[in-house]
Amino acid sequence: MAYSHKHEVLNKANPLTDLTAPALTVLLAPLLGRVVKSLSRKHPAIFERLGPHTKTGYIIDPTNLPFALFLQPDPERPVLRAVARRALPAHEALIRGSFDTLFELIDADADGDAVFFSRDLIIEGNTEAVVSLRNALDDVDGSIAADTADLFGPPGRLALGFLRSRADARSQRSST
């Protein structure tokens, strides 16, 4: 899949996104807060690998969702919240790709360098912060996606299975 101009298009005015994003960011706040706190407790070694970047603000932008995410991996007070794409908070680094690409990365099913080479992943801002985050998350046994799914019990695992099936189907299509 080529980068092409699709990411640009998504950053332009989208009435539906503009209307739904504020509501979604509020609705998702407790869920995302629970996720980041749980992951922080379960994987404290991540913070050591982040070194000086525990105070860094990251934007993670799944281009085909109506909102982006703001992450500050502070071990004392980790932050993960949905933010409107048209009003991003101050940040030092940005990671942008389709939801599928970002899902495969946190499910340990895709290689960060490979999706960068293929232009499916866009990096902006502080490259060292992005590399540190990538390496820190990659040192987690299993996958961040699976840990997140487990938090929500059977519905979470069902959703994970569905997303993994989609990823497998994409992988088979791209290899044929």
Among 138, 146, 150, 151, binds another protein (CB under 8 A): 138
Cα atoms in the Cβ-side hemisphere of radius 13 Å centred on 82: 21
Residue 5 touching another protein (CB under 8 A)? yes
CA–CA dist 4, 92 (Å, integer) = 24
Cα→Cα distances 153→130, 146, 157, Å: 30, 11, 6
Structure tokens at 2: 């080529």
169 is a contact residue toward another protein (CB under 8 A)? no
* Residues in contact with 47: Cβ distance below 8 Å, sequence separation at least 6, in sequence order: 40, 54, 73, 75, 136
If binding is defined by CB under 8 A, does position 111 make contact with another protein? yes
CB nearer to another protein: give 76 or 141: 141
Q: How far is the CB of 66 from another protein (least distance, A)?
A: 21
Contact status: 113 vs another protein (CB under 8 A): yes
Which stretches of the chain bind another protein, using CB under 8 A?
2-5, 7-8, 48-51, 53, 108-114, 116-119, 122-124, 126-128, 130-136, 138-141, 174-175
